[in-house]
Amino acid sequence: MKIDHIAIWTNQIDKLKLFYMEHFSASVFKYFVNPKTQFESCNLIFPSGIQLELMQAPDVEKNKHTLTSRVMGYSHLAFSVGSKSEVNKVTDRLRSKGCLVIDLPRAYGDGFYESIVLDPDGNRIEIKE
């Protein structure tokens, strides 16, 4: 058994799709629209084979996450980039593109070197070695 994919709701599916394609080498492998319900689904796949489904519908509420709060449910996506120098480079690139960096690259207590940035919807992305 394995996890097939992770799905997140958005109200800007195209912006999120382009973000993950540009910064994390995702590609679209399936797109679905139900004109009756106005539901849209964009399935992305990353080079590792992991899949992310972006979903959009008119009745989805904005999440209640803030920069400092912790709420039940989805916490973050983590991308392993292979080295400390790559963590620094990816973090700097995302910051230069306007992404909010909420934790600068550093060694954490669990022994990993990582940073945390926000995607265009405010979802946390962990970038780790």
**pLDDT tens-place string over residues 17-55:** 999 999 999 999 999 999 999 999 999 999 999 999 999
Q: Does the reported pTM lie above 0.85?
A: yes
Q: Cα(20)–Cα(8) distance, rounded to whole angstroms?
A: 13
User: Edge-to-edge, what's the strand order for the sheet holding 6-9?
Assistant: 6-9, 51-56, 39-45, 27-34
Nearest to 90 by CA among 52, 53, 116: 116
Q: Cα(125)–Cα(119) distance, rounded to whole angstroms?
A: 7
**pLDDT tens-place string over residues 46-93:** 999 999 999 999 988 776 667 777 766 778 899 999 999 999 999 999
Q: Cα(76)–Cα(37) distance, rounded to whole angstroms?
A: 28
Written out in words, the top-level CATH class of the domain with range 1-58 is alpha beta
pLDDT score for 93: 97
CATH number for region 75-129? 3.10.180.10
Structure tokens at 55: 């979903």
Write out the residue limits of the CATH 3.10.180.10 domain(s) in the chain.
1-58, 75-129
pLDDT score for 60: 84
